[in-house]
Amino acid sequence: MKKKNLSIKEIAKLSNVSVATVSRVINNRSGFSAETREKVLKVINETGYEANNIAKSLRMSRSHSIGIIVPDIGNFFFADIVQKIEELLFERSYATIICNTARSSSKEKAYLKMLESKMIDGLIVISGAEQFELGNINSDFPLICIDRMPKNPESTIFISSNHYQGAFEATELLLSKNCKNLCIALHRKTSSASRERLKGFKDALKKNSIQYNEKNNFLYLPAEKTDNKVSVIKKYLKSNPDIDGIFAVNDNIALVLLDILPQLGKNIPEDIKLIGFDNTSGAYYCKPKLSSVKQNTSKLAQRTVDSLLDIINGKREQVDKYQLESVQLVLRESTD
């Protein structure tokens, strides 16, 4: 349907509800079912009537709650950014509903559906393993993706650390410390963030005219806690005894290496220099203290909240669709 200058009365007629109900829906008062709301919104969307203003009022003070889909709150980076987002949203009178999906796509679907039923004003989706489907959520629903894109991006705002830059700089740091035989340590199942980190590693080698191949320069660690990481690392070292620099795509992997490598006769940093990613608290308390790439979670959280509230307040056109935040190397003993 084309945009028309319909009155509330006409919208009420098309929706088969009373004028009072349309008004209640638009002004976010209670007294109507979720179905009624959907019905009225459908008519408003389809007729496009004063879409901006109505959409704006619909989004103002509707529920003052925002949903966050997070793959793993036990992960330092995720917990950190979620807490910072919650804090900023609360300052701006929004409550945050956190949903932990344990990286399961079926859970993700269930939680998207649940959040939809809870009448949230906006949604933040934080990095998981792969792309995700928005389900029934309208493409113009206020949505910010951190580190990760939905299957049909359309008007989605994407905010991320510059993982590529971090990996590139971490790799060049190892080279500058006279490491000759580098490898990247990662899991087989990767996220978009770790793909970017892998790309940064490869490009830094290329730039320095270093050939690489999967066999020698890739140390794939099992992701499961129960798997025997020691034997995997042992096997890798047997084929690659000269390895002297490792870029681990995250601190968790780096900490495993920091624990196991000395058991196999490789001391850090004397024999192998090691750098991680995320600058977790573990990186500070381990021995030797771990060098790492630090994401600026404060700025990422600020960008996310500012952008989301701009969209909610009808200022979508002001928001950059693709926002990259710089990262920073934090050098400690493991690369000395």
Instruction: By CB under 8 A, name the binding residues for a copy of itself.
Output: 30-35, 63-65, 72-74, 76, 79-80, 82-83, 86-87, 90, 95-100, 102, 107, 110-111, 114, 117-118, 255, 258-259, 281-282, 284-287
Closer to a copy of itself by Cβ: residue 49 or 103: 103
Q: Cβ of residue 182: shortest distance to a copy of itself, in angstroms?
A: 23
> Smallest distance from the beta carbon of 59 to a copy of itself, in angstroms?
17
> Closest CB to a copy of itself among 284 and 322?
284
Nearest to 142 by CA among 326, 306, 332, 280: 306
- Given a contact cutoff of 8 angstroms between Cβ atoms, the answer to whether 34 and 117 are in contact is yes
Q: How far is CA 13 from CA 6, 10, 219, in A?
A: 11, 5, 65
Residue 9 class from Cβ within 10 Å (0-12 exposed, 13-18 middle, 19+ buried)?
Answer: exposed
Judged by CB, which is closer to a copy of itself: 91, or 242? 91
15 and 40 in contact (C-beta within 8 Å)?
Answer: yes
Which of 58, 82 has the CB closer to a copy of itself?
A: 82
CB nearer a copy of itself, residue 88 or residue 198: 88
Shorter beta-carbon distance to a copy of itself: residue 37 or 59: 37
What is the closest distance, in whole angstroms, from the C-beta atom of residue 206 to a copy of itself in the complex? 33
| Smallest separation (angstroms) from a copy of itself to the CB of 323 | 24
Do the Cβ atoms of 221 and 185 come closer than 8 Å? yes
Residue 234: count of CB within 10 angstroms of its CB:
13
- As measured in angstroms, the least distance from the Cβ of 34 to a copy of itself is 6
Give the whole-angstrom CA distance, residue 55 versus residue 270.
Answer: 61
For residue 49, count other CB atoms closer than 10 A to its CB.
20
- Which residue lies nearer to a copy of itself by CB, 103 or 148? 103
Q: Which of 192, 187, 190 is nearest to 150 (CA)?
A: 192
Rounded least distance, CB 261 to a copy of itself, Å: 13
Distance CA 201, CA 214 (A): 12
SS3 at position 214: helix
Min dist CB 205 to a copy of itself, Å, is: 28
Three-state DSSP string of 142-201: CEEEECCCECCCCCCEEEEECHHHHHHHHHHHHHHCCCCCEEEEECCCCCHHHHHHHHHH
Q: Which is nearer to a copy of itself, 93 or 239 (CB)?
A: 93
Nearest distance from C-beta of residue 309 to a copy of itself, angstroms: 17
Strands 182-186 and 218-220: parallel
179 burial type by CB count under 10 A (0-12 exposed, 13-18 middle, 19+ buried): buried
